[in-house]
Amino acid sequence: MEEPPGAGSPGGGDRASPPNLKRGRDNDEEESLQSTRDYSDMYIPYTKPNYKRVFPDVSTGSGSGEYLVFVESTKAGERLGNKNPLMLATLFRNEIKGVTNIKRINASKIGVTFSQTNTANNFLKNESFLQKYEMKAFIPARSVEKIGVLRFVPTNISNEELFRKLQSSLEIVAVRRFTRKVNGEVKPFNSVSVTFLANSLPEAVYLDIFRFQVHEYVAPLLQCFKCFKFNHGAKICKSAQRCSICAGDHHYLECKNEAVKCINCSGEHLAISRDCPIKQTKIHELKNKTYASAMKNNKNDNIFQNYGKDFPAPRARNPKYASSMKAPAAATPAAKTILKTNENITEKSKVHERETIQNKTKTILSNENLINEILSNEIVLKGLIAALVAIGNGGRTITTTVIKEILTKTLKNE
């Protein structure tokens, strides 16, 4: 495939094209797209046709390591993680090649570890075994995929067209434009998420010869819609059902209370509201964690200088439920105090961080300037050498005071 000539960054700079670019399509022939289509269809997330998540093949097809595959039962009511481990060990040892160990993940799921990519992928595709024993096998997205974000992508380009035309050094398996519904109409953003079949992100991708920088994707904060706490989903929640309107022990559809109360901070807003100071703190922690991980694993720090300024706004509240609930009242004085305190702490932390970086930079520059001045000044340099000789031949006990005294006399030619 021909590489894009002179693919420079939007702001100028190096125009050299990266090698081995791959298009997000199955062949190199340009496939024509419909010139007219339903507006909302343009923004349906697009995934590579017939894509099944497997471990990336290496040159030999059998890379060594530990490759974990999750297995669950498809039989209603059956929990594979609670079955007899000896029975499971015998079953996999006799019928599946390359298994090194099996472990219980939770009541519903077990983990089967393979030592090679080809045996792990063969098991993922072994439909006869999986259907026979009513199981499904899969690997988590985080094991083989990495999501990046492109910004300032024109909204008149569909997800499918982007998938077919984007070029990258890593294989692209999915494209999704960020959108939200306003009065029932899909409103697209200029930000697009791109899923790569890799464990790290490329620095950039190309649309024709236009270079788009790839930014780290920050996943939305996970909030349970059963107990409305954070960092887990309703599927695995063991807590009682709570109401997102009044914090009572019932589903929000059954709520008859007039008062609105957040279960997390007791403020006068819904439990899912972004106005909740506890939720804002959790979001801030998540972003900091993501930034730290990205900075550690990515050598190009410039990618993160303007991170988050163009990220999509939150989804609009579903109008289906808006009419059945009272509009949230203003936050309580306590909630306002917590929110204001968090904002002050955050702002002070940012100011302190900036000042620390500036002071370190000034110190480094000052030290470098001093060293350069000493090395370029022949008189000072000769004086230092003479002082070192005098110190070595003086026979006196070496202390800071002695060194300072000899150095001063030498430089003054005394």
Domain co-membership, 134 together with 152: no
What percent of the residues of the chain are helix, what percent strand, and what percent coil, each to the nearest 5? 35, 20, 45
- 22: which 2 tokens? 């791959």
The number of beta carbons lying within 10 Å of the beta carbon of residue 179 is: 19
pLDDT of residue 322: 46
301 found inside a domain? yes
Domain co-membership, 310 together with 396: no
pLDDT of residue 184: 83
Question: Which stretches of 6-153 are DSSP H helices?
Answer: 85-95, 117-124, 127-132, 141-144
- The CA distances from residue 327 to 254, 273, 317, 331, 405, in Å, are 17, 12, 11, 12, 78
> Using an 8 Å Cβ cutoff, are 286 and 308 in contact?
no
User: What is the rounded distance in angstroms from the CA atom of residue 254 to the CA atom of residue 159?
Assistant: 39
Name the pLDDT band for 285 (thresholds 50, 70, 90). confident
Residue 91 is part of a domain; what is its CATH number? 3.30.70.330
Cα 225 from chain centre: 23
Strands 146-150 and 166-168: unpaired
59 found inside a domain? no
Annotate 285-350 with DSSP letters as a single string: HHHHHHHHHHHHH-S-GGGGTTTTTTPPPPPPPPHHHHTTSPPP-PPPHHHHHHHHHHHHHHHHHH
Question: Quick check: 204 pLDDT over 70?
Answer: yes
Domain co-membership, 249 together with 314: yes
Residues 6 or more apart in contact with residue 246 via CB below 8 angstroms: 255, 257, 259, 260, 261
Question: Which of 9-23, 45-59, 298-312, 351-365 bottoms out in mean pLDDT, i.e. has the lowest?
Answer: 298-312
Domain co-membership, 68 together with 138: yes
pLDDT of residue 79: 92
- The CA distances from residue 88 to 92, 104, 120, 133, 252, in Å, are 6, 11, 17, 11, 42
Domain C-terminal end among 268, 300, 331: 331
151 found inside a domain? yes
Domain co-membership, 407 together with 280: no
What are residue 150's DSSP bridge partners? 192
138 found inside a domain? yes
297 found inside a domain? yes
Q: Which has the closest alpha carbon to 316: 405, 207, 191, 183?
A: 183
User: What is the rounded distance in angstroms from the CA atom of residue 284 to the CA atom of residue 261?
Assistant: 23
Domain co-membership, 188 together with 243: no
User: What is the rounded distance in angstroms from the CA atom of residue 161 to the CA atom of residue 395?
Assistant: 81
Domain co-membership, 249 together with 183: no
pLDDT of residue 233: 86
Annotate 359-378 with DSSP letters as a single string: HHHHHHHHHHHHHHHHHH-H
Domain co-membership, 197 together with 157: yes
179 found inside a domain? yes
User: What is the rounded distance in angstroms from the CA atom of residue 257 to the CA atom of residue 193?
Assistant: 40
347 found inside a domain? no
Domain co-membership, 241 together with 105: no
pTM: 0.52
Question: Which of 61-70, 226-235, 302-311, 399-408 bottoms out in mean pLDDT, i.e. has the lowest?
Answer: 302-311
Which residue in this structure is represented by tokens 């702490």? Answer: 345
Domain co-membership, 131 together with 150: no
Structure-model confidence comparison of residues 317 and 91, the more confident one: 91
Domain co-membership, 139 together with 283: no
pLDDT tens column, 82-102: 999 999 999 999 999 999 999
Q: Tell me what percent of the residues of the chain surpass a pLDDT of 70.
A: 66
177 found inside a domain? yes
Average pLDDT, the chain: 76
Q: Which has the closest alpha carbon to 150: 134, 168, 137, 135?
A: 168
| CB-facing half-sphere around the CA of 12: CA atoms within 13 A | 0
Structure-model confidence comparison of residues 360 and 236, the more confident one: 236
pLDDT tens column, 214-266: 999 887 888 898 999 998 888 889 899 999 999 999 998 899 888 899 999 99
pLDDT of residue 348: 62
- The CA distances from residue 297 to 36, 81, 106, 411, in Å, are 42, 34, 30, 49
Domain C-terminal end among 216, 246, 277: 216
Domain C-terminal end among 216, 249, 275: 216
> Using an 8 Å Cβ cutoff, are 102 and 51 in contact?
no
Name the pLDDT band for 393 (thresholds 50, 70, 90). confident
Domain that holds residue 32: 22-50+145-216
- Per the structure, the count of domains in the chain is 4
Q: What 3-state DSSP class applies to 135?
A: strand
Average pLDDT on 139-146 reads 88
Domain co-membership, 46 together with 149: yes
> Using an 8 Å Cβ cutoff, are 99 and 29 in contact?
no
